[in-house]
Amino acid sequence: MRVALALSSAAVLAVGTACGGESAAPTEDSTAEASATSTSSAPPPPPTPAPVAAAKLPELLPSLEELKTIMDNPQLIEGPNSTGVAVPDPSQQVYEPENCASSFSGGAPPAYEGTGYRKFHGASQVQSPTPSLMLGESVVTFDSAAAAQRALANYVEQWRRCANKQFVWKMIVQGQQAAFTLGEPVDAGGGVTSLRNVNDNSPVAVTRAIAAKNNVLVDVQIMGSNLAEQNVTIANRILEKIPN
């Protein structure tokens, strides 16, 4: 608002001067001087940030203590890390339909096939001794920021195509299965897109969050009850550590 008022005042003064009688035309020297001053005052463009190296990916993820605070759950313990995109072992668990697995699970192959990603690093946490809360955070490098943004756009489009579909998670060893209604992607602000998948027969939900910054794609998953927007908070914590 202050800028707008200043511009308005300048405009009024300019009109008053133009209507206030004759004034000397600017000389060539004064015009050239003004042009030189205007040119020299333009700030240089910011430097392009260096791409994040694969070896730096683990440093981008929140610590276990940070996650305990975000989730308000001191019972979280570290689970296994992952270094690649992979289909679940069908002797352990099965997703149906498989081509919508990226809405349900972080690091699912449909989201990354054909994107040209270079390096994947994921971490997981689980509540112990009762595993009623599970988290997963992944960071993935690409050759460039543009490539990461294209992969993000493809990811969001997959979420849109699978929105409102029924998704079944079969746990083979336990002989159980859970059905979820896949959610629609939501703009959570700050470049983060979120998703909430609900189970009609229980309070358990799966929340997701994805984003891209520099040459890194961020991929977050939480499964549990009474979830708010912790998925978005975790994604933002990771984004804060990525150089821009």
Of 20-24, 75-79, 127-131, 223-227, the one with minimum mean pLDDT is 20-24
Amino acid 158: pLDDT: 98
Q: How confident is the model at residue 7 (pLDDT cuts 50, 70, 90)?
A: very low
- pTM for this model (two decimals): 0.81
Amino acid 3: pLDDT: 33
- Tally Cβ neighbours within 10 Å of residue 49: 13
Amino acid 8: pLDDT: 30
Cβ atoms of residues 167 and 180 within 8 Å: yes
Cβ-Cβ contacts under 8 Å for 204 (sequence gap 6 or more)? 178, 223, 224, 225
Full set of structural domains in the chain with CATH? 54-240 (3.40.1000.70)
The string of DSSP codes covering 45-96 is: PPPPPPPPPGGGHHHHSPPHHHHHHHHT-TTEEE---B-S--PPPTTTEEEE
Cβ-Cβ contacts under 8 Å for 48 (sequence gap 6 or more)? none
d(CA 235, CA 61): 9
Amino acid 57: pLDDT: 98
Q: How confident is the model at residue 40 (pLDDT cuts 50, 70, 90)?
A: low
* Residue 4 pLDDT exceeds 90: no
Amino acid 55: pLDDT: 97
Of 24-28, 75-79, 140-144, 187-191, the one with minimum mean pLDDT is 24-28
E strand intervals along 97-227: 119-127, 134-141, 166-171, 176-181, 186-189, 192-198, 204-213, 216-225
Query: What pLDDT, in 10s, does the model give residues 148-161?
Result: 999 999 999 999 99
Query: What pLDDT, in 10s, does the model give residues 94-107?
Result: 999 999 999 999 99
Environment class of residue 155 by beta-carbon count within 10 Å: exposed (0-12), middle (13-18) or buried (19+)?
Answer: buried
- Pick from 115, 198, 122: which is nearest to 164 by CA? 198
Q: For residue 29, is it left (φ>0), alpha (ψ between -120 and 50) or beta? A: alpha
Q: How confident is the model at residue 47 (pLDDT cuts 50, 70, 90)?
A: confident
* Residue 45 pLDDT exceeds 90: no
How do beta strands 134-141 and 119-127 pair? Answer: antiparallel
CA distance readout (Å), 212 to 115, 143, 145, 231: 13, 13, 8, 15
Amino acid 32: pLDDT: 45
Amino acid 42: pLDDT: 74
CA torsion angle 153 156 160 164 (round to 10): 170
Residue recorded with tokens 């960071």: 139
Cβ-Cβ contacts under 8 Å for 159 (sequence gap 6 or more)? 102, 103, 182, 184, 185, 193, 195, 208
Compare 200 and 119 and report the one with higher pLDDT.
119
* Mean pLDDT score across all residues of the chain: 87
Query: What pLDDT, in 10s, does the model give residues 161-211?
Result: 999 999 999 999 999 999 999 999 999 999 999 999 999 899 999 999 999
CA distance between the termini of the chain:
29
The two structure tokens encoding residue 119: 């390096």
Compare 146 and 32 and report the one with higher pLDDT.
146
Q: How confident is the model at residue 141 (pLDDT cuts 50, 70, 90)?
A: very high
Amino acid 149: pLDDT: 98
